[in-house]
Structure 1
Amino acid sequence: MKVLYQTRYNIFTRKGGDTVQILKTKEFIEGKFPNIQIDINSDPKADLSSYDLVHIFNMLRPQETILFLENAKAQNKMAALSTIFWRSTEFERQGQMGLRKMVNRLISYDGMERLRGLYRYYIDGEKHEGTSRLIRKGYTRLQREILEQADLLLPNGEGEMELIQSIFEPRMSLNYLVVPNAIDAGIFKCDADSQRDIVLCVGRFEPRKNQLNLIKAFNGLPYKLVLAGRAHETQQKYLKAMQMAIQNKNVEIVDEVDHGELQKLYSRARVHVLPSWYDTPGLVSLEAAVSGCNIVVTTRGTTREYFGDDAYYCEPGNIESIQKAIIDAYNAPYNQRLETRINSDFTWDQAAERTVDGYRLLLSREEQEVGAG
């Protein structure tokens, strides 16, 4: 089997959770199934003649996803879609900064996304047919077209699928298979002998991840906070706001680190905090939880589906809520039950198997359709 992965053009220059998801899925599928070869290509006009199927990632950038799907359909290829979906209305109106926040409070969700599309088309260099179509048709309509054309959806959780169905149903019948977000059990594990004396937050520095409110919460706490990440060039104002919000020496900002160094950081942390405006559920929260940290996570997204009663939850827009969750997590013993459950249910090995189940389902369906024809 030969599979082509297609996703946003800046997947490696603006790294995020989807970057890890793509690379780890490829790594573990190819390691576990030697007969499967996977390539990664962001060309919307790629020649698909040598591929058995296409696996596309990310409904949040429909201007690219629709082009990948249409190319697959034009070349008679089955297409799986890792949805990576949420609605960010609350974040755009409460968690954003400056003029963007003010404008977003005055217009509809589709209006917000159309404005972003205009910015991308005329200023950010995304001057192509997909962005033009987003501006003309609207964000939700373009996403609906994607759902209508995808042969199989691969959401990260039932909660993600429920959100999709609540927005686009009952007009659509959607085939899906849940593929969990996951950890690399060979890298991330608990060191019971390590000295843990910090609170850690790992992630890209941007308003959605909400590090600014986390810093504000820490100005009234006695613990040491380390924030590890990097700000994209478009988020330098946010990074500066983070730096300006630091009022004492108990908050430190360090650069993004690779997985080997990240494990060392987790081993120093008593608590890991990710107070995002939404997450599904946050790969770093999974990694931290199996590395010996109690975790504080947002109430938004699929976090409860993954962590149940074994995490400490906070409201992203409420400083006191973030503070209380951190204090509770810091003063509690390490939750080994969560570590056990993640190692049992949420590993890349399992994600690889579920993804390949989806591929086989698609190819068997294709054979049935050819036979019927």
Structure 2
Amino acid sequence: MKVLMISRPTLFTVPGGDTVQIEQTAAALKKLGVEVDIKLADEEIEYQNYRLIHFFNIIRPNSISAHVKQSKLPYVISTIFVDYSEIEKEERGVMFKTLARLFGPDGTDYIKTLGRLILNGEKLIDNTYLLHGHKKSIESLLNKAAMLLPNSHHEFQRLKKRYNFDNEYIKVPNAISSDFIQRPSIAEKKQEVLCIGRIEFIKNQLNLIRALRNTDIPLKIIGKPAPNHQAYFEQCKKEATDNIEFLGQLDKTEIIKRLDQAKVHVLPSWFETTGLSTIEAAARACNIVITRKGDTEEYFKDFAFYCEPGSPDSIREAIVKALQAETNPELKDFVSQNYTWEEAAKKTLMAYNKVLK
């Protein structure tokens, strides 16, 4: 079986959780005997070499629909459905609030897609996207897919609530690489907090900084600013006090070392489908603080300390509780047993086989 994976044009130049998901899923599938190629949506592709296409990111229909029409191959979609509507209504600037109020979440996403085409130089891959709009494009893809592969049951229910479609799905949880499951190299944790993720509005580092500035709690922020979020990064640095340090982008080995040292990892995002860095932190025996917004409670159940992203007080209170609590070995065991790329690949292959039978 030879499968083609296709995702957004900026998959590698602006890496995110979807980049990890695609690369790790492909690697694990290859160990199961599946031939996998990863292509960007704006590449020229010889479809005849493949039996099936696996797309990622339903909120980027412009990156999917042209390939569906040109290839005429069956396809599955890892939906990775991030909902930006709450943040755009309540917390961004006047322009985003106005757009959200006038056009709704899908109209706003349509305008943002046009913005990426104009400002970032991204390619318009499917001209019909301009005609059909964002919502109809997504609904068409969801209905015509051979199978949907959300990261959680909750994600699928959110899709059903927003869009009109009828299709079946297999839940394929996000996961961690085996590197994060090895025995920690440091026996005792420091009373410090890590936040790992791209520095951008949705990850909410600014409210995290406001929660911990001028306290005696050390905070280390790992990651680089996303494109078009340099002003947000500058504001983060402006409001940070001496207990807060920006470490930039680190490689996996250094991240594991930092996780082994830190007592707590926090990701107070405005929205997370899973929060890959939180799964990785849990596997390294960190206590985890994470947003309630999104699908996180299905993943972390009662093991996490949850916070409200709009409230620095809520973020700080959750962090203090996590610092005071003992580390829970059951959390490490839970994520190490349930969220592996090997298991994700098995469920993905199950979907492929069902589609191609």
Aligned match for 2:115, one of 101, 113, 119: 119
Q: Which residue of 1 aligns with 2:137?
A: 142
Moved over 4 A (4+): none
Partner of 2:54: 55
* 3-state DSSP of counterpart to 2:288: strand
Aligned residue for 1:165? 160
CA distance in 1, matches of 2:324, 2:50: 53
Q: Do structure 1's residue 237 and structure 2's residue 231 form an aligned pair? A: yes
Distance in 2 between residues matched to 1:288 and 1:15, nearest whole Å: 19
**Aligned partner of residue 178 in structure 2, secondary structure:** coil
CA 1:200 to 1:97, structure 2 compared with 1: closer, same or farther past 3 Å? Answer: farther
Instruction: Name the counterpart of 2:2.
Output: 2
CA displacement 1:24-51 (0-9 Å, x = unmatched): 00111112x1x32111112465221111
Q: Distance in 1 between matches of 2:183 and 2:285?
A: 5
Correspondence for 2:295: 302
Task: Find the partner of 2:316 among 323, 326, 330.
Answer: 323
Matched, 1:354 2:350: no
Q: TM-score, normalised by structure 2?
A: 0.94
CA offsets 1:280-325 (integer angstroms, 9 cap, x no match): 1110000000101000000011100010111000011111110111
Equivalent residue runs for 1:23-172 within 5 Å:
23-31=23-31, 33=32, 35-42=33-40, 43=42, 46-73=45-72, 77-97=73-93, 99-101=95-97, 103-130=99-126, 132-169=127-164, 172=165
Q: SS state of the match for residue 14, structure 1?
A: coil
CA distance in 2, matches of 1:181, 1:7: 16
**Is contact 1:215-1:242 (8 Å) kept?**
yes
- What residue in structure 1 maps to residue 272 of structure 2? 279
Aligned-residue sequence identity (percent) comes to 35
The one-letter code of the counterpart of 1:80 is V
Consecutive unaligned residues of structure 2, counting only runs of 5 or more, are: none
- Give per-residue Cα distances to partners, 1:69-114, cap 9 Å, x unaligned: 22332xxx22111010132110112343464345434542233123
Cα deviation, residue 175, structure 1: 1.4
Is the CA contact 1:208–1:278 (under 8 Å) kept in the aligned structure 2?
A: yes
- Find the aligned partners of 1:232 and 1:168 in 2 and give their Cα distance: 28
Residues 321/283 of structure 1: CA separation in 2 closer, same or farther (3 Å cut): same
Residue 224, structure 1, aligned to residue 218, structure 2: yes
Aligned 8 A contact 2:58 2:79 in 1: yes
Paired residue for 1:368? Answer: none
1:187 Cα deviation after fit? 3.3
Following the alignment from structure 2 to structure 1, what is the Cα–Cα distance between the partners of residues 161 and 102? 24
One-letter code aligned to 1:37: E
TM-score by length of 1: 0.91
Give the structure 2 partner of residue 207 of structure 1: 201
Contact 2:180/2:284 (<8 A) preserved: no
Q: Distance in 2 between matches of 1:231 and 1:78?
A: 37
Inter-partner Cα distance in structure 1 for 2:113 and 2:123: 10
Find the residue that maps to 1:148 and give its secondary structure. helix
CA distance in 1, matches of 2:100, 2:51: 42
SS in 1 for 2:173: coil
Flag the 1:233–1:58 CA change in 2: closer, same or farther, 3 A: closer
- 1:336 match: 329
Whether the 8 Å contact between 1:7 and 1:64 is mirrored in structure 2 is yes
Contact 2:214 2:242 in 1 (8 A): no
Q: Deviations over 1:247-304 (max 9, x none)?
A: x210001111111111001011100000001111110000000101000000011100
- Letter in structure 2 aligned against 1:154: L
- 3-state SS of 1:41 partner: strand
Aligned partners of 2:330 and 2:71: how far apart in 1?
43
How many residues are matched?
A: 355
Q: Which amino acid aligns with 2:133?
A: G
Whole-Å separation in 2 of the counterparts to 1:37 and 1:58: 21
Tell me the amino acid that sits aligned with residue 332 of structure 1: A
Distance in 1 of aligned mates of 2:84 and 2:113: 15
Maintained 8 Å contact 2:289/2:306: yes
Structure 1: unaligned runs, 5 residues or longer: 365-373
Q: Could you say if the C-alpha distance between residues 56 and 288 of structure 1 is closer, same or farther in structure 2, counting changes exceeding 3 Å?
A: same
- Cα distance in structure 1, aligned partners of 2:204 and 2:183: 27
Q: Aligned partners of 1:341, 1:221: CA distance in 2, in Å?
A: 32
